[in-house]
Chains A and B, each alone.
Chain A
Amino acid sequence: MSTVRIGPLLPPWSYGFIVAFALWIVTISATGPSRAGGTLVATVAFAAFSVLVGTGQMLVIASGPGNIDLSIPSVMTLAAYLAMSAMHESDGLVFLGLAVALGVGVVAGALNYAAIALLRLPPIIATLAWSFVFQSFAIDFGGEATLKPPPVLAASTTFRAAGIPILPGAVVVLTLIVMVVLRRTVFGRSLLAAGQSERAAYLAGVEVGWVRLWAYALCGGLGALAGYLLAGFTGGAALNMGDIYLMESIAVVVLGGTSVAGGDANAIGIWGAALFFNLLGIMLNTFRFQAGVRLFLTGVLIIAIVALVPHARARA
C-alpha cells in the first residue's frame, strides 16, 4: 500500500479516512459507478451511530488508563425501550422520549462511575456488571418484542435536505463541538490532565473525581441518544440492537488515534474509523463473503491499521 511510505507525515487520525476511501473505491469498482453515491450515503448514515457511541467511549478512555465503558450496548437498548414506550408511537411525545432516553443514559453513566469510585471496582468489571443489570431491565421491560418509534422520529432520522441526510450532519457538528470542548474548556483540559496522570492532575488542582463522573455520564448519554435514534432509523427498539456497538465503540476510538493509555483524545479520527468500519461491512457484503471470512478480514485490517499508524508521542 502506498499509504505506508508517507505514513510519518500524516496525523494518526487520517488513516481511517484513507483506508475508508480505498475500500470505497474497491467497492464501487465492483458494483459500478452508478452505485457510488448510494454506497457513500448508506455508509455515512450508519457511521453516524458508530461516531455517537465512539465519542462517548473516547471521553471515558481518555479519562485515564483502564477506564472503559462496556455497558454501552445495554444502555442503548434500555434507553431505546424506555423512550419508545414513553412515546406510545405518538408524534407529540418525541421530545419526552428524547428526554427519557438522555436521562436513562446519564443516570446509567453516573451509576457506572459510582461503582468504580465508591466500591473501587476496576472499570471493566463495574461497567460489565451494570450492563447485565441494564440488560435485565430491558428484558423485563420489552422482552423479545420490537417497540415501534413514532412516525415522525422514524422519518426525521432518515430525512434528507437536498439529498444530504440530516442526521449525520448533526453528528458532524457534535464532533466539532467535542473538539472545542476538549481543547478550550476547563472540563476538556481537566479530562486530558487526569488521563495523563491522576496524581499530577490532583496536585495541579484538577477535580479528578468530578471530571471522570462527567466522562461516564456523557458516555451514557451519548449511548442512549444513539439507541433512541437507532430505534427510529431501523424501525424499532429490539433487544440485540446494541450488540455490535460493544466492540465497535472501542475499535473506532483506538483506530481514530486516541491513546488507550489515556490523556490523548481525538474526536475527528472517530469519523474516519467509523466510515472504514461501515464501508468494510458493505464491501464484504457486496463480495458475498461468508460471516467467518468477514470477521477474519475485519480483525486482520484492524491489526494492520493499528500497527501501521505512527504512535502518539512518547509518554513520561
Chain B
Amino acid sequence: MDLVPPGDEGAPPPPPGVYLAVRGAAKSYGAVQALRGVDFAVAPGEIVGVVGHNGAGKSTLMNILAGTVQRSRGDFTIAGKAVGEWSPHEAQRHGLRCVFQELSLCGNLTLAENTRVIHRSLRGPGWRRRAGTLIRQQLDMIFPGHGLSVETRAIELPIGARQMAEVARAFTETDAPVRCIILDEPTSALGHKAASQLLAYVKGLPERGIACILITHRLDEILLVCERATVMVDGKVVAERPVARLSRPTLVGLMGAIEAPHLPASAAAQVAGRPPVVDLPGRDSLDLAIHAAPGEIIGFAGLDGHGQRERLRALYAYSRHRHRQGRGPAVAYVAGDRGAEGVFGLWSIAENLTIRSIRTLRRIGLISREAECDLAREWVARLEVKAPSIDTPMLSLSGGNQQKVLFARALASDAEIILLDDPMRGVDVNTKQEVYKLIRREAEAGRCFVWYTTEVEELTNCGRLYVFREGRARTELLGAEIEPARILETSFGGRDG
C-alpha cells in the first residue's frame, strides 16, 4: 500500500476541532471501484447521517474508518494524528466504536462475556460480574425497561434483543473513552420502542462530547437526530448539507441523482396485448400478482432483502413446474451468488455453459461432444468471455467472466423466461454495459426477463417494475415512472412514508 502521511505537501493539516477525517479515500476490489475518492470528516460531538442506495460505498467507507478494510488510497487522520495502517484494535484504542449490520456478538457467549471480548482490562477474579454490571448499566441507560439478562447466551436472544446488546456494548467504557460511534442501520432490527429509545440516546450524545455516524435507510431518523447529512452515490460523496435545510424529498432527490440511459418507450408499448408467460398470484391482498409477457423486461425493485429474491425463487419453482407439466415455456435462472449457486467448480467452461442445454444436445441418446463444443464456442464468442479455450477450468476465470458464462448458460438454452438474481454483483462497468445490451436484444427477440437487482440505475433498463416492501410487491411502476428518485421513494413507502 502507498500511503502518504498528510502535512508533507498536498494535504493541509485538518482544521482544529475535527476528531476524524479522510481525504481522497478510495477502495477498489479488482476492477470494481467501491469508493472513488471521498472526503469525510466528523467533529467531536457531531452527529452525521450517511445515506445512499445499496452499493453507494457507505459500508466500505465505514469499514475503512473502523479498520476492518484497508483503503487503497487516501489520507486518514484521527484526533489530529496521521494514520497509516489501521486495525479494529487501533480504532478501538482511539475511542472509535462500530456497530455493523452483520451482528458481531459470539452466539455461544453470554452478554457479559461478549462485553469482556472488547475490554481487555476486565480481567482477574470477578471479571464476569464486573463485565455484567458494565453492560447492564449501559443497557439500562439506552433501553430502559429492556428486560434482558446479561447471563443469557447471545444465540438464545431474538435478533432485536441481540441488536440492543450489540449497541449497548459499543457504548461501554473501561480504559479508553468512547469518542465516536458508527451505527450502520442500527434500527432495522429493532422494534418501534427500542428504536425511539436509541434515537433519543443518540440525540443526547453531543452533550457528552461523543460523535456519531449514523447510516440508515430510514430518512426520518436522519432528519430527527443528525446535524449534517452526507449523501453518497456510486462510491462518491455527492452532497453534504446541514439537516436543518433538508427535507425528505430533497434527500431522496439527492440520492437518486444518477445519469442513466433510458429504455426506448416503444419497447414497452410493443409488448402490450400479448398473453403473459408469467402469472404468479400474490400472497395476500396487499401483494401484487406478478405477470409478464414475451419481450418484456420486468424489474424487481426495493431495498435489499425485502422479499425480491424469495419471489424470484418462487417464480422459478412455479415456472419449472408448469413447464414440466407441459403448460408453460421453459425457464432459466442466472444466479448472482456465483460461488454457491452458479458455478460448478470441477468443470470446464464448456461443461458449465452447456449443463442447462444437455437434453437438446443429444444424438442417439448420448450428448454429442461436437454439438456441445459448437454451442459453447458460439456463446463464448458472443459474450466475449476472455479465456484461452472452452476447456479452461471455470475457476481460473475472473469473476466477471464467470458471470458471463452463467449468462451464456441461460441464453444458450431453450428458456423463454429468464430470471436474473442480482447477477451484476462484482461485475465491472464494461461487462455490465455489454450484458444490458444483450438483454435488450434478447427481449426484442421475444424472451421475457425478470430482473432482481439492488442497483437502482440498472432498473432503468426495465419496462415495468414491481417495487417490494416488507416481503410484498407493493407498487407497480411503468415506463416514464421508472426513475431513481421515484423508485427510492416507493421503496421507502411513498411520499410520506
A151 to chain B, nearest CB (A): 38
A158 to chain B, nearest CB (A): 35
Q: Would A316 and B341 count as touching, CB distance under 8 A?
A: no
Given A180-B366, A185-B367, A186-B367, verify A203-B342 contact (CB < 8 Å). yes
Using Cβ atoms and an 8 Å threshold, which residues of chain B touch A314? 345, 395
Q: Would B316 and A197 count as touching, CB distance under 8 A?
A: no
B409 at the interface (CB under 8 A from A): yes
Docked pose: A184 CA to B351 CA in angstroms: 11
Contact residue among A184, A204, A313 (Cβ-Cβ distance under 8 Å from B409): A204
Residues of A100-156 at the interface with B, using a CB-CB cut-off of 8 Å, are: none
Q: Would A203 and B316 count as touching, CB distance under 8 A?
A: yes
How big is the A interface, by class? 20 to 34
Contact residue among A192, A197, A205, A264 (Cβ-Cβ distance under 8 Å from B356): A205
B285 to chain A, nearest CB (A): 31
A42 at the interface (CB under 8 A from B): no
Using Cβ atoms and an 8 Å threshold, which residues of chain B touch A197? 340-341, 343-345
Q: Would B335 and A203 count as touching, CB distance under 8 A?
A: yes
Residues of A185-204 at the interface with B, using a CB-CB cut-off of 8 Å, are: 185-186, 189-190, 192-193, 196-197, 199-201, 203-204
A-B pairs with CB below 8 Å: how many?
73
B339 to chain A, nearest CB (A): 5
A312 at the interface (CB under 8 A from B): yes
Given A193-B344, A263-B346, verify A200-B335 contact (CB < 8 Å). yes
Complex interface: stretch among B62-70, B76-84, B223-231, B357-365? B357-365
B332 at the interface (CB under 8 A from A): yes
A315 at the interface (CB under 8 A from B): yes
Q: Would A184 and B340 count as touching, CB distance under 8 A?
A: no
B347 at the interface (CB under 8 A from A): yes
Q: Would A189 and B341 count as touching, CB distance under 8 A?
A: no
Q: Would B340 and A186 count as touching, CB distance under 8 A?
A: no
Q: Would B341 and A203 count as touching, CB distance under 8 A?
A: yes
Residues of B410-426 at the interface with A, using a CB-CB cut-off of 8 Å, are: 413
B100 at the interface (CB under 8 A from A): no
Docked pose: A259 CA to B346 CA in angstroms: 11
Using Cβ atoms and an 8 Å threshold, which residues of chain A touch B367? 183-186, 189
Q: Would A185 and B355 count as touching, CB distance under 8 A?
A: no
Q: Would B366 and A184 count as touching, CB distance under 8 A?
A: yes
B331 to chain A, nearest CB (A): 8
Using Cβ atoms and an 8 Å threshold, which residues of chain A touch B346? 192, 196, 259, 263-264, 312-313, 315
B335 to chain A, nearest CB (A): 5
A280 at the interface (CB under 8 A from B): no
A254 at the interface (CB under 8 A from B): no
A128 to chain B, nearest CB (A): 29
Docked pose: A200 CA to B394 CA in angstroms: 14
Docked pose: A186 CA to B413 CA in angstroms: 15
Q: Would B362 and A186 count as touching, CB distance under 8 A?
A: yes
Using Cβ atoms and an 8 Å threshold, which residues of chain A touch B345? 196-197, 313-316
Using Cβ atoms and an 8 Å threshold, which residues of chain A touch B347? 192, 196
Q: Would A204 and B356 count as touching, CB distance under 8 A?
A: yes
Please, which residue of chain A has its CB at the minimum distance from the CB of B335? A203
Docked pose: A185 CA to B413 CA in angstroms: 17
Please, which residue of chain A has its CB at the minimum distance from the CB of B340? A199
Residues of A171-187 at the interface with B, using a CB-CB cut-off of 8 Å, are: 180, 183-186
Q: Would A193 and B355 count as touching, CB distance under 8 A?
A: yes
B19 at the interface (CB under 8 A from A): no
A267 to chain B, nearest CB (A): 16
A225 at the interface (CB under 8 A from B): no
Contact residue among B320, B343, B365, B369 (Cβ-Cβ distance under 8 Å from A200): B343
Q: List 28 A-B contacts (CB under 8 A).
A: A183-B367, A184-B369, A185-B367, A186-B358, A189-B355, A192-B344, A196-B345, A196-B347, A197-B340, A199-B340, A199-B341, A200-B335, A200-B342, A200-B344, A201-B344, A203-B333, A203-B341, A203-B342, A204-B355, A205-B355, A205-B356, A259-B346, A263-B346, A264-B346, A313-B346, A313-B395, A316-B343, A316-B395
B interface residue numbers (CB < 8 A to A): 316, 320, 332-333, 335, 339-347, 351, 355-356, 358-359, 362, 365-367, 369, 393, 395, 409, 413
- Given A189-B351, A263-B346, A316-B339, output 8 extra A-B contacts at Cβ < 8 Å: A183-B367, A192-B346, A200-B335, A203-B333, A205-B320, A312-B346, A313-B345, A315-B345
A interface residue numbers (CB < 8 A to B): 180, 183-186, 189-190, 192-193, 196-197, 199-201, 203-206, 259, 263-264, 312-316
Give 3 nearest A-B pairs by CB, closest first.
A316-B345, A203-B333, A184-B366
